[in-house]
Amino acid sequence: MKSLKFDKDTKHISLRGLKITSIEFAQFSNFPFLNSIDLDSNQFDYLSFYGIQECKRLETISASFNKIREVNLESLIKCKKLESLDFTENKLTKIDFSVISGHPNLKRIRLVQNLLTTFDFEPLGRMPKLVSVHLYNNQLDSINLEKLSDCKNLMHLELGNNPLTEIDLTPLRNISSLRVIECTNAKISDIDLSSLSDMKSLERVNFASNRIREIDLSPLVNCRLLKEVILNYNQIQELDISPLLYCPNFQHLGIDDDLALWVPKNYESIKPIPKWIKSLKQEVKVIDTSSSEIKFKKHTRTRRERTFFIDPKEFKGLFLDLVNEINDAFDADCYVCTAFLSRKLLESLVISILQRKFGKKHRTYYLYQDSNGEYRTKAFGKVLAKFWEIFDEHIIQYSPSINSKKIAKLKNYFEILKNDFDVDVHQLSGFADEEYLLGARKSLMNLLKFLQHIGNQIR
């Protein structure tokens, strides 16, 4: 590419969306005050940071939404102030952090939505200021957190949407700073939380959409800052929630509607009863465990030939793992889950389009900052409103075959499915049956094809 033309005292260089395929990082040494580089939404398939070592004030590098298959990080060890690396949505199958092991200031690593099949945590264990690691949506079928135990400042660990069948949390027991651990949409059937018992900073535990049958929450009783435990869409049939009653900051328990909740008899001595337990839809049974054996009827179903709610042959591209989850839910007659995950798929595709188009520069289109300064996804209605505000006048540019009537119909589909598939608004159980979902499927597929087409044009 041509030489960079920016003011010499510039602090931020953005080369977003310029269809660049290669770059010489030595050029950046001409900007002594540079602290961030944005390479999002280009066409890189390989990056070597050789030459960037002269950027002594560099703090942030983002190279998301490219096609990167390989990256050489070695020169970054000399960028002592570097804090953040983001390679979201690329095609990395592996990445070697050993060449920057011991980096003194690296805090955030984002490798969301790549093709990683292995990941070595050992180099990360020698990064003293590491705060967050995001490995969501890769191809990791096993993971060893042993070397991560040296990351004494780690706050956020995200491992979801990987085909993990088990995870050992033992190495995390000495990370007193850990606030959030998330491992959703995996295949975990057994989870031991005992290693979390002394985590004084823990705020959120999320193992939704796994295959967990039983879970003991008692290790969480000493987690005084715990606010949220999410266990929706597992195979849990009964749950003792009494340990959470001793967590003074607890606010939300995410569970399935048909889960049987219970507490020991001495629960009645806890005063006042927390607001969050009063808000549960489920009845909480009080059991005298000294004289009663707790038994619950097991749910069984007759297996039948697998059926698809979203045909994989018709839907090709991003979020195929989520499509598989939707089909698994539909095949298991879990229509509430099917509706919820279908809405999540629409939301993910809309946000993905906004990310490709604008990236972090306008991330407030789809994110907001909570009271702790953490970025969280906005309500789907707000994200959708921004999507139409931006694309309404330019849809024909991306899809010449579409006309105003089709646009109006698509908007109507969006509005209906957004509301009908919103668990928070409707709780779904009243109408999310097989007949309703099959009736809504055609509208859903039209929207999915439309969003895929727009996404491919932006890419």
CB count in 10 Å sphere of residue 425: 11
Structure tokens at 276: 């969050």
Looking at this protein, which amino acid is placed at residue 127?
M
Distance (Å) of CA 169 to CA 5, 48, 134, 143: 49, 34, 16, 10
Listed as own residue / partner, the contacts of 376-382 with beta carbons closer than 8 Å and 24 or more positions apart are: 377/347, 377/351, 380/343, 380/346, 380/347, 380/350, 380/418, 380/422, 381/418
What's the rounded Cα separation, in Å, for the pair 219 and 125? 25
Structure tokens at 44: 């890189």
What's the rounded Cα separation, in Å, for the pair 319 and 349? 8
pLDDT at 348: 83
**In the 3-class helix/strand/coil scheme, how is the chain assigned residue by residue?**
CCCCCCCCCCCEEECCCCCCCCCCHHHHHHCCCCCEEECCCCCCCEEECCCHHHCCCCCEEECCCCCCCEEECHHHHHCCCCCEEECCCCCCCCCCCHHHCCCCCCCEEECCCCCCCCCCCCHHHHCCCCCEEECCCCCCCCCCCHHHHHCCCCCEEECCCCCCCCCCCHHHHHCCCCCEEECCCCCCCCCCCHHHCCCCCCCEEECCCCCCCCCCCHHHHHCCCCCEEECCCCCCCEEECHHHHHCCCCCEEECCCCCEEEEEHHHHHCCCCCHHHHCCCCCEEEECCCCCCCCCCCCCCCCCCCCCCCCCCCCCCCCHHHHHHHHHHHHCCCHHHHHHHHHHHHHHHHHHHHHHHHHHHHHHHCEEECCCCCEEECCHHHHHHHHHHHHCCCHHHHCCCCCHHHHHHHHHHHHHHHHHCCHHHHCCCCCCCHHHHHHHHHHHHHHHHHHHHHHHHHC
Query: How do strand 132-134 and strand 108-110 relate by DSSP bridges?
Result: parallel
**In the 3-class helix/strand/coil scheme, how is 105-135 assigned residue by residue?**
CCCEEECCCCCCCCCCCCHHHHCCCCCEEEC
CA dihedral for 257, 259, 265, 271, sign (positive or negative): negative
Which pTM was predicted?
A: 0.65
Q: Which of 409, 301, 440, 260 lies closest to 431 in space, CA to CA?
A: 440
Domain topology for 12-236: 3.80.10
CB count in 10 Å sphere of residue 296: 10
CB count in 10 Å sphere of residue 146: 12
- Residue limits of CATH 3.80.10.10 in the chain: 12-236
Instruction: Name the phi and psi angles at 181, rounded to 5.
Output: -130, 125
In whole angstroms, what separates CA 21 from the centre of its chain? 28
pLDDT at 263: 75
Identify any residues that bridge with 158 across adjacent strands, giving them in sequence order.
134, 182
What's the rounded Cα separation, in Å, for the pair 45 and 25? 15
Which position has the token pair 């195929």? 320
What's the rounded Cα separation, in Å, for the pair 299 and 260? 12
Each of the 459 residues of the chain gets a pLDDT tens digit; together they read 556 778 888 999 999 999 999 999 988 888 989 999 999 999 999 999 999 988 999 999 999 999 999 999 999 999 999 999 999 999 999 999 999 999 999 999 999 999 999 999 999 999 999 999 999 999 999 999 988 888 989 999 999 999 999 999 999 988 989 999 999 999 999 999 999 988 989 999 999 999 999 999 999 988 999 999 999 999 998 898 888 888 889 999 988 888 888 877 666 555 567 778 777 777 777 765 544 333 333 333 333 444 667 776 676 666 777 787 787 777 766 666 777 777 788 888 888 888 877 777 777 887 877 777 777 777 777 777 777 777 665 555 555 555 566 666 666 666 655 554 554 433 333 445 666 677 777 777 877 777 777 777 665
Looking at this protein, which amino acid is placed at residue 319?
F
What's the rounded Cα separation, in Å, for the pair 193 and 170? 9
CB 183 within 8 A of CB 166: no
pLDDT at 204: 95
CB 86 within 8 A of CB 110: yes
CB 184 within 8 A of CB 161: yes
pLDDT at 78: 93
Identify any residues that bridge with 376 across adjacent strands, giving them in sequence order.
368
What's the rounded Cα separation, in Å, for the pair 447 and 443? 6
pLDDT at 379: 77
What's the rounded Cα separation, in Å, for the pair 131 and 12? 23
